[in-house]
C-alpha cells in the first residue's frame, strides 16, 4: 500500500493504482490529470509510490500540456490513416508554448500547407470516434519487437537511448500506438480546439548529418474563442515576419553558400544601418564614451585568462593555428577592451572610463535554432565596458539605464519591463560588492519610475544585472538592453587604477549593450513597424513617380531639390504602369510617394501620399520639405 495526499486528505491505495481510479475513490471529478510530486501525470498512469497529488482541471494551464500532447498523437494517427501506416515514420512530437508539433517522415510525400486542412479533417474524425487512450508499460524487449513490427525506425532509436531503469510506456488509441511517456487525455473525444498552422523542415535529432523530417505545427486550446484570438495574433505576427520583410525591403539575405546564421546586408539595409550607427555614435559621444576598434580573432591565452575557454567553449567556433599558436574568433569583445584599459597605468582621474565598440562577434548556435536576424552566428553588439571606482558605481548605473531607455524611446518604443537578477548561491565577489551593485541597480530603476521585477538569485556568478525588455506593437516582449556587473574579469586580468592615495585599487567593471545586437534589434524594429520604419531610419524616404516622359524634367529638378536637403530620394522611371509603381512603393513601405503629372508640372505644387498618414493633399515643395524634416528631427515613429 502507498499513501497519497489529495487536497489535505490522506488515502491508502494499492501501489500501481492509476491516478484516475484514485480520483474516483477520493471523489475528485472533472480532473484531466494531476501534479504528482510536482510532475504532470495523466489519469491512466499508475501511482507507485507515496505521493502528494494536486488535481489538474481544464482551467489550469498545466492541462493544456495534456491536451496538446494528445493532439500530437491524434495528428500522427491521422497521417497514418491518410498516407498509410507503413509509409509514415514518426520522430518526436512534443508540446510547444501554444500547441504541439510532430516530426515525421512520409515516404514519397512532401507535404505542403495545402495538405493541412485534409489532415485537420481526419483529426476531427478521430476525435469524433472517441477512442479511449490507453497506457501500456512494456519491457525493453517487447518495446523493440513492437516498434520493429511497426517499422518505426526513429522510435527504435529512442528506445535504445532510454536507460534500463526507466519505464517504457506506449499509448494506444484504436490501432495507433506511440512510444510515449504521456501525459494524455483519457479519450480522443475530449480534445479541444486546434488548428494546424505550418510546416517546416527539421533534422532528426537536430543534427544536419541526419535525415530531414517534416515538422507539422499545430496550435491548441480548450476553448475555441481562445484559439481564434491566438490565431489572429499568430497571423498578425506572420505578416510582420522580419525574414519576409527583410526580402521585400531588400534589407538582408542569408545565403546557405555563405553559411547559415551569417547575415549579408544589402544596400538598402546598409544605408539604414549606417544611419542607425551614426545616431548610436553621436549619442555615445555626447555621453563621454570613447570608441575603440578591436580584432576579430585573439590568442587562446587571452581566452584562457578571461575564462572563456573553461566556461564558454561550446559557444565558440573551433580554433585556428597561427604561427604555432592557437587563436579563436571572438565570441565577446570584453578581453580586448580590458587589454586597452591595461595598456597604461590608469589614474582615478580617468574614471569612469567608457570604451565603446560596435563589435562583431561570432557564437556557435545549433542550426535548428537559427532564425532570421533574431538568432544568428555572427552579429554586432552595441557594446561598451565601463570601468569605474566604487564611489562612481551609483551614478554610472543611473546614467547608463537612462541612456538605454532614452535610446529605445528614440526608436519609438514606449513600454518597458525591467528585470534585476541578484546574487546566486555560488558567486564570487564580496557581499559588500554585491550589495552595492544590487542597490545601485534598484535605485536607478526606482528613480526613473519604471516598474521592475526581481529575479532573486538569477544573476550570473560574477555579478548582478539589469535587463530591459521592450513591448512591441502586438504586445510581445523583446530583451534589448543589459547592464551587467562583473566582479570576475577585473580579478582575472588584474585590472587596477591608482587612487588619490597613490595606491593601487581594483576598479568596478560593467558590461552593457543598449540595443543588444544590431541584427536582432533590426529584426525587432522590422516586426514592430511591420516594415514601415520611421522616416529618419527609412533607406528611401521619398519616391518620385513621373507619369510620363513629359514630367521627367520637373521630376529631376524636384529630386535634386530634395537631395540638397539631405533627403533620400528615388525616382521610379521604369517602364511600368503607374499602378504597379505605386504598389511597389507600398510593398517597400516607402514613407512618402509623390506622383508627378501635368497638374504638378503646371502648378508647381505636389500631392503627397504618406504611408502612415494617408493623403496629405497638395502642397508646395517647400511645405513638404518642412513637413518631412520635422518628422525626421522628432524621430516620429
Ligand atoms: Zn506522446
Ligand atoms: Zn563585455
Q: Pick the catalytic residue: 383, 467, 472, 572?
A: 383
Residues of the chain with CATH 3.40.50.800: 535-633
Indicate which ligand has the atom closest to the C-alpha of 465. 2
Residue 537 CA to ligand 2 centre (angstroms): 28
pLDDT in tens, 65-114: 999 999 999 999 999 999 999 999 999 999 998 999 999 999 999 999 99
Is 334 assigned a catalytic role?
Answer: yes
The single residue of 334, 337, 392, 581 carrying the catalytic annotation is 334
Q: Is 242 annotated as a binding residue?
A: no
Q: What is the CA angle 76-124-101, rounded to 5?
A: 35
**Cα–Cα nearest to 459, from 430, 485, 491:** 485
Nearest Cα to Cα of residue 291 among 389, 221, 196, 358: 358
- Count the alpha carbons within 13 Å of 66 in the hemisphere toward its beta carbon: 31
Give the closest ligand to the alpha carbon of residue 331. Answer: 2
Ligand nearest to the CA of 179: 1
Active-site residue flag, 337: no
Q: Single out the catalytic residue among 381, 392, 433, 484.
A: 381
Q: Which of 155, 240, 354, 511 is the catalytic position?
A: 511
What are the residue ranges of CATH 3.30.930.10 in the chain? 268-294+330-528
Whether residue 95 contacts residue 73, with contact meaning beta carbons closer than 8 Å, is answered with: no
Give the pLDDT confidence of 210-228 residue by residue, as tens digits.
999 999 999 999 999 999 9
Q: Is 480 annotated as a binding residue?
A: no
Question: CA-to-CA distance for 231 and 533, rounded, in angstroms?
Answer: 25
Cα of 6 vs centre of ligand 1, distance in Å, is: 26
Its sign, for the CA torsion 234, 237, 238, 243, is negative
Topology annotation, domain 2-60: Ubiquitin-like (UB roll) (3.10.20)
CA of 360 to the centre of ligand 2 (A): 12
- Cβ atoms of residues 200 and 217 within 8 Å: yes
Ligand nearest to the CA of 73: 1
Predicted local confidence at residue 167, as pLDDT: 86
Distance between Cα 381 and ligand 2 center (Å): 10
Active-site residue, selected from the candidate residues 354, 465, 520, 568: 465
Pick the catalytic residue from 195, 240, 363, 469.
363
Contact 423, 377 (CB under 8 A): no
C-alpha of residue 22 to centroid of ligand 1, in Å: 23
In this structure, which topology does domain 63-239 adopt according to CATH? 3.30.980
Q: Which grid cell is 94?
A: 512534443
151 is catalytic: no
Annotation marks residue 511 as catalytic: yes
Residue 82: the pLDDT is 97
Q: Tell me, in angstroms, the distance from the centre of ligand 2 to residue 528's CA.
A: 28
Q: Are 50 and 36 in contact (CB under 8 A)?
A: no
Q: What is the pLDDT of residue 604?
A: 86
Active site residue 210: no
Which alpha helices (DSSP H) does 479-577 contain, by range? 489-492, 518-528, 552-564
| Cell numbers found for residue 468 | 530591459
Set 68, 385, 469, 528: catalytic member: 385
Centre of ligand 2 to C-alpha 486, Å, is: 9
Q: For residue 617, with 0-12 CB atoms within 10 Å meaning exposed, 13-18 middle and 19 or more buried, which class applies? A: exposed
Convert 84-141 into a string of H (helix), E (strand) and C (coil).
Answer: CCCCEEECCCCECCCEEEEEEEECCCCCCHHHHHHHHHHHHHHHHHCCECEEEEECHH
Q: State the Cα–Cα distance between residues 634 and 637, nearest whole angstrom.
A: 9
Closest listed ligand to the CA of 462: 2
Cα-based angle 146, 150, 151 (whole degrees, multiple of 5): 115
CA of 75 to the centre of ligand 1 (A): 11
Pick the CATH number of 535-633 from 3.40.50.2000, 3.40.50.720, 3.40.50.800, 3.30.565.10: 3.40.50.800
In the reported structure, the alpha carbon of residue 221 is separated from the centroid of ligand 1 by a whole-number distance in angstroms of 17
Nearest to 241 by CA among 534, 527, 531: 527
C-alpha cell at 211: 535525415
From ligand 2's centre to the CA of 512, what distance in Å? 7
Q: Is 42 a catalytic residue?
A: no
Low-confidence ranges of the chain (pLDDT < 50): none
- The predicted complex's ipTM stands at 0.75
Check if 505 is active-site. Answer: no
Compute, in angstroms, the gap from residue 266 CA to the centroid of ligand 2. 29
Contacts of 22 (CB under 8 A, 6+ apart): 4, 6, 11, 13, 47, 53
Closest ligand to residue 294's CA = 2
Instruction: Name the CATH superfamily, with its identifier, for domain 268-294+330-528.
Output: Bira Bifunctional Protein; Domain 2 (3.30.930.10)
Amino acid at each position: 500500500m502507498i499513501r497519497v495526499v489529495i487536497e489535505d486528505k490522506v488515502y491508502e491505495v494499492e501501489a500501481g493504482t492509476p491516478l484516475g481510479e484514485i480520483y474516483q475513490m477520493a471523489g475528485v471529478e472533472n480532473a484531466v490529470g494531476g501534479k504528482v510530486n510536482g510532475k504532470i501525470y495523466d489519469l491512466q498512469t499508475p501511482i507507485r509510490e507515496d505521493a502528494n497529488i494536486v488535481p489538474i482541471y481544464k482551467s489550469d494551464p498545466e492541462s493544456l500540456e495534456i491536451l496538446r500532447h494528445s493532439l500530437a498523437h491524434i495528428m500522427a494517427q491521422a497521417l497514418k490513416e491518410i498516407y498509410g501506416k507503413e509509409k509514415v515514420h514518426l520522430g518526436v512530437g512534443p508540446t510547444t508554448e501554444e500547441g504541439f508539433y510532430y516530426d515525421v517522415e512520409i515516404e514519397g510525400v512532401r507535404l505542403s500547407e495545402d495538405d493541412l486542412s485534409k489532415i485537420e479533417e481526419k483529426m476531427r474524425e478521430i476525435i469524433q470516434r472517441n477512442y479511449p487512450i490507453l497506457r501500456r508499460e512494456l519491457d525493453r524487449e517487447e518495446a523493440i519487437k513492437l516498434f520493429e513490427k511497426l517499422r518505426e525506425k526513429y522510435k527504435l532509436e529512442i528506445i535504445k537511448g532510454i536507460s534500463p531503469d526507466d519505464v517504457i510506456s506506449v499509448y494506444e488509441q484504436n490501432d495507433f500506438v506511440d512510444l510515449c511517456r504521456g501525459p494524455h487525455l483519457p479519450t480522443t473525444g475530449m480534445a479541444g480546439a486546434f488548428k494546424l498552422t505550418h510546416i517546416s523542415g527539421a533534422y532528426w535529432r537536430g543534427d544536419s548529418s541526419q535525415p530531414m523530417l517534416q515538422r507539422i505545427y499545430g496550435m491548441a486550446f480548450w476553448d475555441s474563442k481562445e484559439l481564434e484570438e491566438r490565431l489572429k495574433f499568430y497571423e498578425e505576427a506572420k505578416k510582420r515576419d522580419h525574414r519576409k520583410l527583410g526580402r521585400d525591403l531588400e534589407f538582408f539575405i542569408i545565403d546557405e553558400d555563405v553559411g547559415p546564421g551569417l547575415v549579408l546586408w544589402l544596400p538598402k539595409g546598409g544605408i539604414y544601418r549606417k544611419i542607425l550607427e551614426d545616431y548610436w555614435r553621436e549619442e555615445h559621444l555626447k555621453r563621454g564614451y570613447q570608441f575603440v576598434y578591436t580584432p576579430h580573432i585573439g590568442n587562446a591565452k587571452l581566452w584562457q585568462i578571461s575564462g572563456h575557454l573553461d566556461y564558454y567553449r561550446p559557444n565558440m567556433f573551433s580554433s585556428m593555428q597561427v604561427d604555432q599558436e592557437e587563436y579563436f574568433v571572438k565570441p565577446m569583445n570584453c578581453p580586448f577592451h580590458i587589454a586597452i584599459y591595461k595598456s597604461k597605468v590608469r589614474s582615478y582621474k580617468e574614471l569612469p572610463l567608457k570604451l565603446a565598440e560596435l563589435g562583431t562577434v561570432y557564437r556557435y548556435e545549433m542550426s535548428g535554432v537559427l532564425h532570421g536576424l533574431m538568432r544568428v552566428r555572427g552579429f554586432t553588439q552595441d557594446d561598451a565596458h565601463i570601468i569605474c571606482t566604487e564611489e562612481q558605481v551609483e551614478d554610472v548605473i543611473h546614467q547608463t539605464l537612462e541612456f538605454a531607455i532614452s535610446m529605445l524611446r528614440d526608436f519609438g518604443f514606449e513600454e518597458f519591463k525591467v528585470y534585476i537578477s541578484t546574487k546566486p548561491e555560488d558567486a564570487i565577489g564580496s557581499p559588500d560588492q554585491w550589495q552595492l551593485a544590487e542597490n545601485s541597480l534598484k535605485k536607478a530603476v526606482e528613480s526613473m519610475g519604471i516598474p521592475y521585477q526581481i529575479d532573486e538569485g538569477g544573476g550570473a556568478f560574477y555579478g548582478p544585472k539589469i535587463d530591459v525588455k521592450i513591448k512591441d506593437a502586438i504586445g510581445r516582449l523583446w530583451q534589448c538592453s543589459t547592464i551587467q556587473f562583473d566582479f570576475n574579469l577585473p580579478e582575472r586580468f588584474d585590472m587596477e587604477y591608482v587612487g588619490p592615495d597613490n595606491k593601487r585599487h581594483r576598479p568596478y567593471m560593467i558590461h552593457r549593450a543598449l540595443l543588444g545586437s544590431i541584427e536582432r534589434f533590426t529584426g525587432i524594429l522590422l516586426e514592430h513597424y511591420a516594415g514601415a520604419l520611421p522616416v529618419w531610419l527609412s533607406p528611401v524616404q521619398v519616391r518620385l513617380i513621373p507619369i510620363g516622359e513629359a514630367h521627367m524634367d520637373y521630376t529631376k529638378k524636384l529630386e535634386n531639390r530634395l537631395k540638397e536637403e539631405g533627403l533620400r530620394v528615388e525616382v521610379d522611371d521604369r517602364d511600368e504602369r503607374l499602378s504597379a509603381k505605386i504598389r511597389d512603393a507600398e510593398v517597400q513601405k516607402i514613407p512618402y510617394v509623390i506622383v508627378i503629372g501635368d497638374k504638378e508640372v503646371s502648378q508647381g505644387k505636389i500631392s503627397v501620399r504618406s504611408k502612415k498618414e494617408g493623403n496629405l493633399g497638395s502642397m508646395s515643395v517647400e511645405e513638404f520639405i518642412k513637413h518631412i524634416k520635422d518628422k525626421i528631427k522628432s524621430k516620429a515613429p
